[in-house]
Amino acid sequence: MRRMRRSSALASALLLVLLAAACAPGTDRERAQAEAEALYRETVAQFLRQTRYTFTGTTTLQRNQTLHDLARVRFNGYVEGGDEILVRLSLTGDGGTVRHEEVLSLYQQGNRFYSRLADSRLWKAAPEKDRLIRNELAYWNPAELVRAIDAMKLRVDVDPRRSTPDVRALAVAVNQDELKSWLAERMRDLAAEGRRADALVFSGAELLMREEAVSRKEKERNRQAMADRLATLEASGAFTLFVDVHRRLPTKIEGRIQAHYREEGQTVRESTTLNVFVKDFGEAIDRPRDLPVKPLSR
């Protein structure tokens, strides 16, 4: 009888050990995923509280996987006080040749918006109803990018291959339908105004650089073309936030987006890579001397 009890106890102990061994990997994965989510949430909240920092970056677009249709935007700027932002964009394309009037600057102070083509030109105030400049500033603003990523987020995991003891790489999987809606939102405003651009990512920057008049008939054609593009748009992508674990602030935001749509009977494929570096949190901003209005005292 004692032997049977001892055997039963040993069997129960062995079963517990086997169950623990079987469950441990899953528990570790769940714990790691929960820690990644917590770090992500703390970082987003901390970053969106920041009112002073600078940023630089590049966005690269390739259409139909051909080098001829490769374009790149280099950009830099600053955020000050939460209601002042300057973004300077430089658009290159066609094998690296610089396009005419390739530099575009956008500036916001409170409810006032300004744009300038080329550094030698004068600033131009935007009308109150001009949504193009407002949307374009929001698109290149790192805080607005993080808000968009957060709204699309499905899951966060640490990428150990790209992490270091001081910087965690947080891979953010996003809802693909929400990503599609985010891209489409930029196009809807253009369609409403009868405007048209060659690509999803650079749409606003392209149009602001052109400064061209559009006839009523051309506006109707553009609206139909944009409607066809939106009706067939599909997109997928993912983002990575590189986080300073000591300060709980992002040092880099990386995105990769694939999209395709029908245009003039052809399928157009776009591949976009986005890299944004954020730094100088809380430090004094070295403003340009030729801003369109006097900066507010802080």
- 34-68: per-residue pLDDT in tens? 999 999 999 999 999 999 999 999 988 888 766 55
The pLDDT of residue 195 is above 70: no
Task: From 249, 257, 291, 284, select the one nearest 142 (Cα to Cα).
Answer: 249
Q: Could you tell me which residue, 18 or 209, shows the higher pLDDT? A: 209
In angstroms, what CA-CA distances link 3 with 11, 16, 88, 293?
12, 20, 82, 92
Give yes or no for residue 129 having a pLDDT over 80. Answer: no
Phi and psi dihedrals of 243, rounded to 5?
Answer: -115, 130
Per-residue pLDDT band at 15 (split at 50, 70, 90): very low
Confidence band of 192 (pLDDT split at 50, 70, 90): low
Is residue 270 within 8 Å of 199, Cβ to Cβ?
Answer: yes
Please say if the pLDDT value at position 184 is more than 70: yes
Helix 216-232 and helix 176-192: axis angle, to 10°? 170
Q: What CATH number should be reported for the domain whose range is 37-279? A: 2.50.20
- Both tokens assigned to 265: 């009977």
Q: What pLDDT, in 10s, does the model give residues 221-246?
A: 777 878 888 899 999 999 999 999 99
For residues 199 and 72, the model is more confident at: 72
Please provide the average confidence, as pLDDT, over all residues in the chain. 82
- Residue where the block lists tokens 């290159």: 92
pLDDT at 122: 87
Q: Domain residue spans in the chain? A: 37-279
Name the strand (E) or helix (H) holding 43: helix 2-48
User: In percent, how much of the chain has pLDDT > 70?
Assistant: 75
Query: Which of 136 and 87 is assigned the larger pLDDT?
Result: 87
Taking the C-alpha atoms of residue 250 and residue 279, their distance in angstroms, rounded to an integer, is: 8
When pLDDT is cut at 50, 70 and 90, the band that residue 2 belongs to is: very low
pLDDT of residue 213: 58
What's the pLDDT band for 201 if we cut at 50, 70, 90? low
Q: Does residue 167 have a pLDDT over 70?
A: yes
pLDDT of residue 80: 94
Site of tokens 């990018």: 145
Tokens of 58: 């590049």
Residue 25 has pLDDT above 90, yes or no: no
| Paired residues of 105 in beta bridges | 88, 116
